[in-house]
A and B are shown apart, each in its own frame.
Chain A
Amino acid sequence: MKFGIIVFPGSNCDQDCLYVLRDVLKQSAVRLWHQSTDLHGCEAVVLPGGFSYGDYLRTGAIARLSPVMDAVSAFAKDGGLVLGICNGFQILLETGLLPGVMSRNTSLRFICRFVNLRVERTDTPFTNRCVEGQILRLPIAHNEGNYTVDEQTLKSIQANRPVDSSQASEASRGTRSGFRPTGKARGTSQVVFRYCDAQGQLTDAANPNGSIDAIAGLCNPAGNVLGLMPHPERSAEPALGSSDGRLIFESMIQSLTHA
């Protein structure tokens, strides 16, 4: 699989993404400078973390004007897989490929630590290697990760979510559904990851930044664009304290292989 990792001025996780994809997962991966106007035949795109344009004005607000973002938007609208990590997620929000905005963490502190994430959906191309309700341990490192959205949009994001997610996860444990590229995700919640405690419960203490509805990661209605604040590329090998992040990249590889 050929992955394209977009590099903006101020990106700083591009090398980590490249390392995980190329050296750990043995995929073909290239870095694409933000001035590029095409994606050079890449089959999946990663917007890495960092501080594009120094976070000036608002996080991601300037990066979304980069020439490459027109190509990324067209690719996303065509069903291509786009993964935005941390600042990459913020850029996707400013671009409008995902709804909402990131506000300052309620603590006003830059938070850099491991968090627990509950996998809310396994029918996306980014989570098909996970089990619903599975708890992933991934690190966050951000100052603006407090997901904020207006009430009406929140409702549409949450539409038809399971009433009792613990029951839903019991029922589907052990199943691994692949990506359905026809946009079957419609009618399901767009929330893919929520901050939780070690037991999978959503508590205020487990929500590191004040995100509404504990949202840590969400996808577009078609399911081919995912943004998440935690860093899967920083948790893809046991030496780093967790290799749970691999599941996200492996899911993408699986869905591309079976597409």
Chain B
Amino acid sequence: MKAKVIITLKPGLLDAQGKTIKGALESLGFRGVGEVRMGKYIEIELANGRAAATKRLIEQMCQKLLANPVVEQYRIELD
């Protein structure tokens, strides 16, 4: 089983990297670019188990290490 964790800054926080990417896209002539948020993507291989239990485990990993809850939010996907 593989877990995919997507970590982004919480809404409302200034994402300086996202803002710069947006500016760069616009300077390349791409139109209609709205807000850009930059994040992290982590893949974790796990022994097969029940999806609900695995998700709880990954949530613990996010809370204890992978994300900083002060500024970051996370989303978990299981394959």
Contacts and interface: CB of A to CB of B under 8 A. Distances in A.
Which size class do A's interface residues fall under? 10 to 19
A28 to B, nearest CB: 36
Interface stretch (A17-25, A103-111, A250-258): A103-111
B28 interface: no
A77 B16 CA distance: 35
Contacts of A106: 14, 16
B14 A108 contact: no
A105 B13 CA distance: 13
Contact of B65 (A57, A100, A105, A149): A57
A57 B16 contact: no
B63 interface: no
A108 B17 contact: yes
B60 interface: no
Nearest to A58: B68
B71 A148 contact: yes
A108 B70 contact: no
Which size class do B's interface residues fall under? 10 to 19
Contacts of A58: 68
A101 B16 contact: no
A74 B20 CA distance: 42
A101 B68 contact: yes
Interface in B63-79: 65-66, 68, 70-71
Interface string B7-18: 000000110110
A108 B13 CA distance: 15
A103 B65 contact: no
Given A101-B71, A103-B71, A57 B17 contact: no
A118 B65 CA distance: 34
A164 interface: no
A105 to B, nearest CB: 8
Contacts of B71: 101, 103, 148
Contacts of A57: 65-66
Contact of B70 (A101, A105, A210): A101
Contacts of A105: 16
A244 to B, nearest CB: 30
A103 B17 CA distance: 11
Interface of A: 57-58, 61, 65, 94, 100-101, 103-108, 146, 148-150, 210
Interface of B: 13-14, 16-17, 20, 65-66, 68, 70-71
